[in-house]
């Protein structure tokens, strides 16, 4: 069985790592703060003292980090994964980063005989816990096939969408759809509240029709219950939309709906909501309307 290294033990990474342990994989972990790794060590993981040490002890290294700079630092930086990885090893970057950075990191690894898959995920903390994430993967078909069992231990859907960088492009597309859906749900429920109709009744009326969606099912109840603890923070969605817009500008593409939602999320961040779940965007609409969406 392949030896797995895991770097990035946050809201998503920790439950993903736990699911690898439950599946029986031997796992080596690294965290800058040892206390973060303690729970995983107690669950059966081994702790290493650097990304380099993780790579030296692993056949496959998984990274689940906040953004492009962190991935480059952990993989390519001093005492990083590249320094410890043996020829023939694989890095699976499951972070949501800029596609050009995914391709850059893949190229640097390839120079040393190390393979890479860019494999960002969708589903948030609940699906990370349940092991039912969706994974969109870029990289060689043979490398994808060799690592499919690993990704399946954390996800219910794993789809290869192309070569290096394609997974990151697919994740940007995902984040566009999610962001615009959250904004649409927010507008719809604020409309109901402002018009004097119970948002919950509107939710129940529309969920079975064409307006029904995974976003509506997951986020409308949180809005109505005022539960904005982060499964996926507004601040992180802003990061993803920044990558979307930067990529779209690089290829000469206008994305007006995405740009509009980005501005609303920036306003929410300015209002102190950066660490709220992205369903908290409804509070931006509520502030403009002078109403509150609740059961």
Question: What CA–CA distance (Å, rounded) separates 65 from 26?
Answer: 21
Q: Are 100 and 165 in contact (CB under 8 A)?
A: yes
Confidence band of 210 (pLDDT split at 50, 70, 90)? very high
Mean pLDDT of the chain: 97
Q: What is the pTM of this model?
A: 0.91
Write the pLDDT tens digit of every residue in 105-158.
999 999 999 999 999 999 989 999 999 999 999 999 999 999 999 999 999 999
Please say if the pLDDT value at position 34 is more than 90: no
CA 36 to chain centre: 19
233 in Cβ contact with 281 (< 8 Å): no
**To which residue do tokens 């992205």 refer?**
278
Domain-wise residue ranges, the chain: 4-163, 170-289
If 0-12 CB within 10 Å is exposed, 13-18 middle and 19+ buried, where does residue 125 land? Answer: middle
State the pLDDT at residue 275: 96
Torsion of CA 4, 60, 13, 213, to 10 degrees: -120
- Predicted confidence (pLDDT) at residue 178 exceeds the cutoff of 90: yes
The topology under which CATH files domain 170-289 is 1.10.1040
What CA–CA distance (Å, rounded) separates 29 from 26? 10
- Segment 176-203 shows an average pLDDT of 98
Which alpha helices (H) appear in 28-93, and where do they start and end?
34-42, 51-56, 68-76, 81-84
Q: Is 171 a catalytic residue?
A: yes
> CATH top-level class for 4-163?
alpha beta
Options 171, 219, 239, 269, the catalytic residue: 171
**Spatial distance between the Cα atoms of 42 and 126, rounded to a whole number of angstroms:** 22
| Tens-digit pLDDT profile for residues 241-255 | 999 999 999 999 999
> Which residues have CB under 8 Å from 146's CB, separation 6+?
90
**Rounded (5°) CA angle 47-136-104:** 70
Q: Is the pLDDT of residue 33 over 90?
A: no
CB 60 within 8 A of CB 92: yes
- Tell me which H or E stretch contains 247: helix 234-250
Place of tokens 């703060």: 33
């Amino acid at each position: 069985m392949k030896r797995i290294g895991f770097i990035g033990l946050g809201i998503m990474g920790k439950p993903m790592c736990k699911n690898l342990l439950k599946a029986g994989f031997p796992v080596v972990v690294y965290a800058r703060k040892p206390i973060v790794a303690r729970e995983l060590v107690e669950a059966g993981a081994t702790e290493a003292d650097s990304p380099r040490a993780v790579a030296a002890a692993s056949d496959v290294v998984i990274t689940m980090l906040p953004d492009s700079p962190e991935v480059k630092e952990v993989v390519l930086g001093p005492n990083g994964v590249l320094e410890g990885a043996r020829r023939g090893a694989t890095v699976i970057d499951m972070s949501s980063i800029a596609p050009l950075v995914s391709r850059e990191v893949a190229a640097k690894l390839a120079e040393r005989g190390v393979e890479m898959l860019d494999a960002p995920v969708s589903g948030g903390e609940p699906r990370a816990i349940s092991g039912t994430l969706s994974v969109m993967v870029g990289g060689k078909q043979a490398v994808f096939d060799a690592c499919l069992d690993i990704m399946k231990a954390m996800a219910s859907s794993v789809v290869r969408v192309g070569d290096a960088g394609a997974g990151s492009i697919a994740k940007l597309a995902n984040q566009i759809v999610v962001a615009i859906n959250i904004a649409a749900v927010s507008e719809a429920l604020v409309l109901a509240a402002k018009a004097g109709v119970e948002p919950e009744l509107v939710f129940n009326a529309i969920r079975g029709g064409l307006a029904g969606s995974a976003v509506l099912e997951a986020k409308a109840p949180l809005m109505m219950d005022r539960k904005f603890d982060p499964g996926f923070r507004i601040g992180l969605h802003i990061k993803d939309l920044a990558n979307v817009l930067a990529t779209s500008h690089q290829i000469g593409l206008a994305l007006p709906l995405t740009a509009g939602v980005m501005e609303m999320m920036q306003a929410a961040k300015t209002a102190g909501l950066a660490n709220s779940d992205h369903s908290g965007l409804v509070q931006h609409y509520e502030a403009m309307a002078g109403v509150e969406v609740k059961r």
